[in-house]
Amino acid sequence: MMAGKYTHLDNQKVSGSVDSVPAVTDSGEVAIKFADSNLETFPPSQARGKISGGSRPPRDADDTFSKTSLGSDEAQPGGWFRSFTVDAYKPYFDVDTSDVLDRIKESLFPFKGSFTEKTASNPDLYGPFWICTTLIFVAAAIGTFVTYVAHELKNQEWNYDINLVTWSAGVFYGYVTIVPLGLYVILKYFSAPSGLVQLFCLYGYSLFVFIPALCLSVVPLEIFRWVIAGVAGFMSATFVALNLRAHIMSAGERWFFIVAAIFLLQVALSVVLKLYLFTVTV
């Protein structure tokens, strides 16, 4: 009863030095009012510096695998410096294991010609780089093994030739770097520009077929080796040519020459490999 007597606790007023939570008022709202008390308050000012907006959990080596990198929050270093950061190349490695395996399988079927469409949106540099590196190792290993066996069969002195490694490194890395670059320039000249990374991707995956070819060439039959080299070269060259043909046709009348040149280059690579690695002079 709101008689105004002091002994009644009025619902509107909260009196006393104790924080009190009044019961539900007549209006149905719950009003929580903290009277000024003598308690000290600790404002979070000291911690403000540590809590960033959106408080992310701390990152360490075995934390989440999220794609957002820390670099996305910082200001990017300007202009051409960016090409020296790791982040500039991350988009080209945005592939999963299944994607890479898929693309490798594509490269083994050269007559489909669908490789460029599949990789147009997401060309990767992982495949080309590691296929080349694997090829270097396989070429050096197989080449060494072949000469070793040949020398052993004739009971001759044999020494490991370390130059095989360096030579094959030069050939493969050079081929995958320079030929697509040259093609890129030529296509620009003929006003049918293609993405440079797409070309790297295409050439890199086209070399995959040489890995099984080299492994098979261990068989010491000369004819067999030539057949293998020919088939591998043909498959690889067709892969590249067919995938580029649709694009190069827009370059004008000279397109056939360009495609033929690409084809022949790849076959030449295969022949060079066969000759250098498997010509054993005992």
Partner 1 sequence: MSLTDTVPLHASSQSDIDEIENLINASVHSGPATVLPARPPSPPRAQIPPVWDTVKRDLSRIVSNLKLVVFPNPYREDPGKALRDWDLWGPFFFIVFLGLTLSWSASVKKSEVFAVAFAVLAAGAVILTLNVLLLGGQIIFFQSLSLLGYCLFPLDVGAVICLLKDNVILKVIVVCVTLAWSSWAAYPFMSSAVNPRRKALALYPVFLMYVSVGFLIIAID
Taking a C-beta distance cutoff of 8 angstroms, is the pair 211, 135 a contact? Answer: yes
Provide DSSP, 223-234: HHHHHHHHHHHH
Q: Answer yes or no whether residue 94 interacts with partner 1 by CB under 8 A.
A: yes
Residue among 26, 29, 40, 62 that touches partner 1 (CB under 8 A): 62
Among 96, 111, 121, 253, binds partner 1 (CB under 8 A): 96
Q: Does 95 bind partner 1 (CB under 8 A)?
A: yes
For residue 215, give the 3-state DSSP assignment: helix
Among 2, 23, 47, 65, binds partner 1 (CB under 8 A): 65
Tell me how far apart the alpha carbons of residues 243 and 204 are, in angstroms, rounded to a whole number: 13
Supply the minimum distance, in Å, between the C-beta of residue 15 and partner 1.
53
Looking at the Cβ atoms of 81 and 160, the one nearer to partner 1 is: 160
How far from the centroid of its chain's Cα atoms is residue 185's Cα? 24
CA gap 270, 144 in Å, rounded: 18
Total of chain residues touching partner 1, rule CB under 8 A: 35
Shortest separation between residue 125's beta carbon and partner 1, angstroms = 8
Q: 33 in helix, strand or coil?
A: strand
Q: Rounded to an integer, what distance in angstroms lies between the CA atom of residue 167 and that of residue 139?
A: 10
Minimum separation from the CB atom of position 130 to partner 1 (A): 6
Query: Measured from the CB of residue 215, what is the shortest distance to partner 1 in angstroms?
Result: 14
Q: What angle do CA 262, 263, 266 make, to 5 degrees?
A: 85
- State the residues that interact with partner 1 by CB under 8 A: 59-65, 67, 69, 86, 89-90, 92-98, 100, 126, 130, 133-134, 137, 140-141, 144, 148, 159-160, 162-163, 165-166
